[in-house]
């Protein structure tokens, strides 16, 4: 029995060693390759090469000499950006089976790094990696959940992965049994992941890493109109975060809201949402340009779509709605806008002009 336990411990240590070594060599190989390419380009008088798929990257593990030797042969020799299927499968297995939080974090960091490349995004989906990674959203350790969201952020750059992560009820009903056999998921884990991420955003601490990570994933999903309908019930919470969050939260929320406001079908949902009392305080020259410019783009988009909306149907809005605050009769917003005309930035003035001329 003792020998068997020792063998198991040795196997786990070897797996963790391979994982750490793989990440270390992966990062080292990338740095050396990029440096070599830059030197070649400079000698040839060309420009610095741009890295493929410049999406958000997750920081890797530290490199040690032993780890580098252990990881020899772990990476695909012909393409350092793409790990072999067997290696990704091993990391996914470790993520699914390990009860150690630090090991799960290391596995997610490795997957996040590899998910920065399109070939690995497809490979991870084919290996059922999306379900395994998304299940980490239920992890009791917050740092594990943050890293899982970071991986999903990279994976959600892939349209096919977005469809998989949406996981519609029909998909759950039709493939639940087969999916449970493949990844040993509990039936209650087979839910729609986008609402789960929205719930994380709603219930987590204000301005936390978990909140920022959730917003990044949702922003990727909002680039197309396909999943906007799943977010409409959370618009009041988005507005609340906009007035209460840090500048980082404000900018990320505005990216999401701008994507929603570009969709005429969501215009009424945005305009009918209750506006926080301090919403108009954001329209001030002392607010950073990053926030102010995006605010004005949001309003300009809403006003353009409102004109289309009025041509089709007439809506009544509550007095505290976003519509009444922005476009109601004799609102303070018009005075705010008048003062901002003096703002010394052409981009800001262009968006003010969009609002006024509509």
pLDDT in tens, 102-118: 999 999 999 999 888 88
pLDDT per position as a tens digit, 176-227 = 333 333 433 433 333 468 888 999 999 999 999 999 999 999 999 899 998 9
Which class in CATH covers the domain with range 227-358?
mainly alpha
- Detail the DSSP E strand segments found in the chain: none
In whole angstroms, how far apart are CA 145 and each of 101, 136, 169, 210? 10, 6, 24, 7
In whole angstroms, how far apart are CA 66 and each of 20, 70, 222? 10, 6, 43
Instruction: State yes or no: pLDDT of 286 exceeds 90.
Output: yes
Q: What is the pLDDT of residue 329?
A: 74
Q: What is the pLDDT of residue 200?
A: 94
Cα torsion 17, 22, 28, 30 to 10°: value is -170
**Multiple choice CATH, 83-221, 1.20.1260.10, 2.60.40.1180, 1.25.10.10, 1.10.287.3510:** 1.25.10.10
Q: What is the pLDDT of residue 159?
A: 76
Are residues 352 and 333 in contact, defined by beta-carbon separation less than 8 angstroms? no
* Residue 192 CB contacts under 8 Å (≥ 6 apart), including other chains: 166, 167, 168, 169, 230
What pTM was computed for the model? 0.70
For the chain, which residues make up each domain, given as ranges? 1-46+64-80, 83-221, 227-358
CA triple 266-268-269, angle to 5 deg: 65
Instruction: State yes or no: pLDDT of 340 exceeds 80.
Output: yes
Q: What is the pLDDT of residue 13?
A: 57
């Amino acid at each position: 029995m003792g020998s068997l336990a020792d063998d198991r411990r040795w196997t786990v240590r070897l797996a963790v060693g391979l994982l750490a070594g793989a990440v270390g060599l992966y990062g080292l190989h990338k740095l050396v390759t990029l440096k070599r390419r830059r030197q070649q380009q400079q000698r040839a008088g060309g420009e610095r090469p741009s890295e493929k798929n410049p999406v958000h990257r997750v920081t890797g593990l530290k490199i040690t000499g032993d780890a580098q030797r252990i990881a020899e042969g772990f990476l695909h020799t012909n393409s350092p950006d793409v790990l072999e299927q067997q290696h990704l499968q091993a990391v996914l297995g470790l993520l699914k089976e390990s009860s150690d939080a630090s090991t799960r974090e290391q596995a997610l960091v490795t997957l996040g790094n590899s998910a920065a490349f399109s070939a690995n995004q497809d490979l991870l989906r084919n290996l059922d990696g999306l379900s395994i990674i998304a299940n980490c959203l239920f992890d009791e350790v917050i740092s594990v959940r943050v890293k899982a969201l970071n991986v999903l952020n990279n994976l959600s750059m892939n349209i096919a992965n977005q469809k998989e992560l949406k996981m519609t009820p029909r998909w759950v009903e039709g493939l639940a049994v087969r999916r449970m056999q493949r990844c040993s998921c509990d039936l209650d884990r087979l839910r729609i992941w986008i609402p789960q991420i929205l719930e994380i955003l709603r219930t987590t601490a204000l301005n936390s890493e978990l909140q920022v990570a959730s917003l990044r994933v949702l922003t990727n999903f909002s680039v197309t109109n396909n999943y906007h309908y799943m977010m409409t019930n959370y618009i009041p919470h988005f507005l609340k975060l906009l007035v209460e969050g840090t500048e980082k939260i404000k900018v990320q929320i505005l990216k999401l809201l701008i994507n929603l406001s570009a969709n005429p079908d969501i215009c009424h949902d945005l305009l009918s949402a209750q506006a926080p009392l301090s919403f108009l305080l954001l329209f001030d020259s002392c607010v950073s340009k990053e926030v102010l410019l995006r605010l004005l783009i949001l309003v300009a988009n809403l006003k353009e779509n409102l004109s289309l909306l009025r041509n089709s149907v007439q809506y009544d809005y509550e007095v505290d709605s976003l519509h009444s605050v922005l476009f109601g009769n004799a609102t303070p917003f018009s005075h705010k806008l008048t003062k901002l005309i003096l703002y010394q930035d052409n981009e800001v003035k262009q968006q003010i002009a969009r609002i006024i001329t509509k």
